[in-house]
Amino acid sequence: MQKNYEVLLIIGYGHSGTTILDMVLGSAEGSFSCGELTYITRNQFFEEYCSCGSVIRECPFWSVVFEKWVGNDRTSTSTLTSTSTGRSAQRSSQNSAQAQPPMTLEEYRLLRDQFEGNKAFLRTVFRYLFRDDAYRRYVLATERLYDLIAEESGASVIVDSSKSASRAFLLASFCRVRVVHAIRNFRGVLNSERKDVKVDLKAGIEAASKPKKAKKVLIDWVLSNVMCSVSRIWFGGKKLHFRQWIRFPDFIRLVQPALQPGFEKGLFKAEHMVAGNAIRMKPPQKLRVGQVLGSGVHGSGAPDSRAQDSHRYPRLGKRHQLLGRIVETLLPSWNR
């Protein structure tokens, strides 16, 4: 059945500006920024914070959505059913997802691990073409969630910055998907991955992250961009290079024409965004055009020069700077 909404899915490697991009895209009329919905199965998810400042289980938006989706008891043994109330019930007879079989949240978590993420990419593509019962059940449960988000928000465009390339196939199984492949140059990514991040739920940091080795970051970055390129081409999506749109924000209008000219001068704050970068928890943000540290772009200045590298990528030593320059030279289409 044709939906009255579409999903604008942001895919790409982490640390590529996807959260602020989600907020900007979601600021267009009729759009709703969700954040990284793929992480709703995380163990402490309902104790994490929504961008509105409330714990997710108490958020005036998400508490309603999840109550209708999984019921009051949001634990690993919760029953995920097709029962709905309120505005959702008025449309239940028109919703194909209502026929889904009961499923526990733990079962949904297991299916998520089976069909999402880089390791699941080939399996998900195969099941998108040749569906089995497990894939159908995961699609139906996910469809039910997005139907509820659309009904409660009233949005015609749901912005999802889950980043997973395989998720495009999942969402395309029940609605129209517009894919945006967010790409950041390798040194910008590596510089971010060298941070030592500690959990702070209230600040919007849900997972700890130790500084990663350059070899692992390189392998993951390449594999992620390869798979994202496949998804982008498959669904006729578009690329957005971080260093391009942060310098020239009008590039964003290529994927979201509903944004008005001069949108970059406004303030951005997603009302109910879950997961993603901690910036979502901060007060309304101004888009710092050309001035994001580590972007390799500062105002209208020239592209990267070696004399400025240590300032732009302060966590990278000479060896990593050299590796980064080699990678960016060999893979220019991912390092604009």
Per-residue pLDDT of the chain (336 residues; tens, 9 = 90+): 689 999 999 999 999 999 999 999 999 999 999 999 999 998 889 999 999 999 999 999 999 999 999 875 455 434 444 333 334 434 443 444 443 445 778 889 999 999 998 999 999 999 999 999 999 999 999 999 999 999 999 999 999 999 999 999 999 999 999 999 999 999 999 999 998 888 888 778 877 788 899 999 999 999 999 999 999 999 999 999 999 999 999 999 999 999 999 999 999 999 999 988 889 999 998 887 765 444 443 333 445 566 577 788 999 999 999 999 999 999 999 998
Q: Dihedral of the CA atoms 171, 41, 48, 292 (nearest 10)? A: -50
Helix (H) or strand (E) holding 34: strand 31-35
pTM metric for this prediction: 0.86
Q: Which residue has the tokens 């402490």?
A: 44
Check whether domain 6-289 has CATH 3.40.50, yes or no = yes
Give the alpha-carbon dihedral of 281, 39, 186, 194, to 10 degrees: 70
**Dist CA 100 CA 110 (whole Å):** 17
Three-class SS state of 35 = strand
Give the type of residue at 19. Answer: T
Please provide residue 283's backbone torsions phi and psi, each rounded to the nearest 5 degrees.
-60, 165
Full DSSP string of 154-188: --SEEEEEEE-TTHHHHHHTTSEEEEEEEE--HHH
What does the alpha-carbon distance between residue 285 and residue 20 come to, in Å, rounded to a whole number? Answer: 9
Ramachandran area for residue 91 (φ above 0: left; ψ -120 to 50: alpha; else beta): alpha
